[in-house]
Amino acid sequence: FLSHSLQAKMSRPVQARRLEGIDKNIWVDFVKLAATYSKVNLGQGFPDFPAPDFLTEAFARALSGGNHMLHQYTRAFGHPPLVKVLAQFFEKLLGRDVDPMTNVMVTVGAYQALFCCFQALVDEGDEVIIIEPFFDCYEPMVKMAGGTPVFIPLRPNPPKDGKLMSSADWQLDPAELASKFNERTKAIVLNSPNNPLGKVFSRGELGLIAELCVKHDVLCISDEVYEWLVYDGKQHIRIASLEGMWDRTVIIGSAGKTFSVTGWKVGWVVGPDRLLQHLRTVHQNSVYHCATIAQEAVAQGFQRELMLYGKPESYFVQLPKELQQKRDWLVQSLNGVGMKPIIPEGTFFLVADISHFKSDVPDVPNSDEPYDYRFTKWMVKNKGLAAIPLSAFYSEAHKNNYTNFIRFCFAKDDATLKAANDILQKWKQEKTS
């Protein structure tokens, strides 16, 4: 009798409706696959080389130095030394006044910054434009806020001269972009440099987006976590510095990417108080604040970088220099085996074309699983090399057009990249023998 009544009480759904359709997550699946099978993991985006000494030393000092208050709560919207130095830094980058208390907020990684943006700024029925391919959490976060994502793909234009494609060859169609803006559009998510392609949006492209934002009174959520990882002398341009954009833009950054400490989960937002005041409401009612010691150490890291700004010893100069070499190395390695790389202008990711490997992992027509998912799973299980399928970065509607590519992360030790090259070379030999 008892068990019957208990069963009856458990028959209604326990989950909130806002979770419908967003329960799947690529990272949960692929991180597990990589942990189980990979010998070389170029999948998830994190460096496997050490963080800079000046930063880990700052953390150690914060942990065991004289200031025991660093083990306690700090200011909810950001540890004062960190928001102060971020404000100073962004004043330099944007050429405008930035108030540490009202124009900066520290978050638990860029991930929570994104969550605060969508929860604070997007309402039921609002449309949010997302440029494909996109960092996958944008879509479920918009939906959780009750909004409707509207997707626009970057369109590839392969160079005709037989050269390798560059991420710059993936472009927005201006008319198509304009057609996505209407009276329901609340915001556009911009991610430059873009994960997964590595595209660094040009001033012209940003100008076009800015013009449409201003014309339609649309906000811009600008995910700039890879702002320092730009190559070949290209420049990262901040859309907030374009005319009319500061007042409608939230800039998002991450110490994880900036200082190679993804596990610390320190991120930030920079923007006008009229937007940030609402992000603070979400933040104070969800996580309240991020670990004090990590914030203190990141503050010291930025103080060092402020002093060395533009100098050769600056980590923001050294890291991209090292990563560019790693990029070039992986480009060569992939090109050598016929897995054509798309040369990224920024980030630590690289997308490669797997069309020539189709004979190894044959297509299964009418399968629910996109080809690149199957290929990536096969590769990690049979070759021990982990990557991420590109179609994971597309909406359901557009996924099937982009199943011949996979994404590699090259923020890896030279030994890791060499081990990846060994796997690819051996694979090529097996194919030809």
Binding residues for ligand PMP, rule CB under 6 A, total 14
Provide, rounded to whole angstroms, the least separation between the CB of residue 254 and ligand PMP.
3
Measured CA to CA, the distance from residue 210 to residue 188 in angstroms comes to 10
Provide, rounded to whole angstroms, the least separation between the CB of residue 387 and ligand PMP.
15
CB 130 within 8 A of CB 189: yes
Q: Interaction with ligand PMP in 234-273: which residues (CB under 6 A)?
A: 254, 256, 262, 265, 267
Of the residues 127, 139, 205, 223, which one makes contact with ligand PMP according to CB under 6 A: 223
Measured CA to CA, the distance from residue 391 to residue 372 in angstroms comes to 7
Q: Which residues partner with 269 through β-bridges? A: 105, 252
Residue closer to ligand PMP (CB basis): 67 or 286:
286
Residue closer to ligand PMP (CB basis): 214 or 291:
291
Q: Does 353 bind ligand PMP (CB under 6 A)?
A: no
Provide, rounded to whole angstroms, the least separation between the CB of residue 360 and ligand PMP.
29
Provide, rounded to whole angstroms, the least separation between the CB of residue 11 and ligand PMP.
38
CB 78 within 8 A of CB 230: no
Count the Cβ atoms, other than its own, within 10 Å of residue 291.
16
Q: Which residues are CB-contacts of 180 (< 8 A; sequence separation ≥ 6)?
A: 129, 150, 152
Provide, rounded to whole angstroms, the least separation between the CB of residue 223 and ligand PMP.
5
Measured CA to CA, the distance from residue 67 to residue 82 in angstroms comes to 16
Q: Does 224 bind ligand PMP (CB under 6 A)?
A: no
Measured CA to CA, the distance from residue 194 to residue 161 in angstroms comes to 25
* Residue 330 in tokens: 């992986």
Radius of gyration from C-alpha coordinates of the chain: 22
Residue closer to ligand PMP (CB basis): 185 or 222:
222
Q: Interaction with ligand PMP in 36-65: which residues (CB under 6 A)?
A: 45
Measured CA to CA, the distance from residue 156 to residue 176 in angstroms comes to 14
Residue closer to ligand PMP (CB basis): 142 or 337:
142
Q: Does 139 bind ligand PMP (CB under 6 A)?
A: no
Provide, rounded to whole angstroms, the least separation between the CB of residue 282 and ligand PMP.
16
Residue closer to ligand PMP (CB basis): 135 or 410:
135
Main-chain phi, psi angles of 273, to 5 degrees? -60, -30
Provide, rounded to whole angstroms, the least separation between the CB of residue 423 and ligand PMP.
24
Measured CA to CA, the distance from residue 62 to residue 355 in angstroms comes to 50
Residue closer to ligand PMP (CB basis): 106 or 110:
110
Q: Interaction with ligand PMP in 98-117: which residues (CB under 6 A)?
A: 109-111
Question: What DSSP letter does each residue of 308-337 carry, written as one string?
Answer: TTTSTT-HHHHHHHHHHHHHHHHHHHHHHH
Residue closer to ligand PMP (CB basis): 131 or 225:
225
Provide, rounded to whole angstroms, the least separation between the CB of residue 60 and ligand PMP.
22
Residue closer to ligand PMP (CB basis): 218 or 225:
225
Measured CA to CA, the distance from residue 230 to residue 70 in angstroms comes to 34
Provide, rounded to whole angstroms, the least separation between the CB of residue 311 and ligand PMP.
26
CB 209 within 8 A of CB 177: yes
Residue carrying structure tokens 């694979």: 427
Residue closer to ligand PMP (CB basis): 267 or 389:
267
Question: What DSSP letter does each residue of 117-159 carry, written as one string?
Answer: HHHHH--TT-EEEEEES--TTHHHHHHHTT-EEEEEEPEE---
Provide, rounded to whole angstroms, the least separation between the CB of residue 151 and ligand PMP.
16
Q: Interaction with ligand PMP in 173-192: which residues (CB under 6 A)?
A: 191
Q: Does 301 bind ligand PMP (CB under 6 A)?
A: no
Q: Interaction with ligand PMP in 281-300: which residues (CB under 6 A)?
A: none
Measured CA to CA, the distance from residue 263 to residue 308 in angstroms comes to 25
Measured CA to CA, the distance from residue 142 to residue 119 in angstroms comes to 8
Q: Does 133 bind ligand PMP (CB under 6 A)?
A: no
Residue closer to ligand PMP (CB basis): 128 or 337:
128
Q: Which residues are CB-contacts of 261 (< 8 A; sequence separation ≥ 6)?
A: 51, 55, 255
Q: Which residues are CB-contacts of 94 (< 8 A; sequence separation ≥ 6)?
A: 238, 240, 241, 246
Of the residues 38, 74, 195, 295, which one makes contact with ligand PMP according to CB under 6 A: 195
Q: Does 303 bind ligand PMP (CB under 6 A)?
A: no
Q: Interaction with ligand PMP in 314-333: which residues (CB under 6 A)?
A: none
Binding site for ligand PMP (CB under 6 A): 45, 109-111, 135, 191, 195, 223, 225, 254, 256, 262, 265, 267
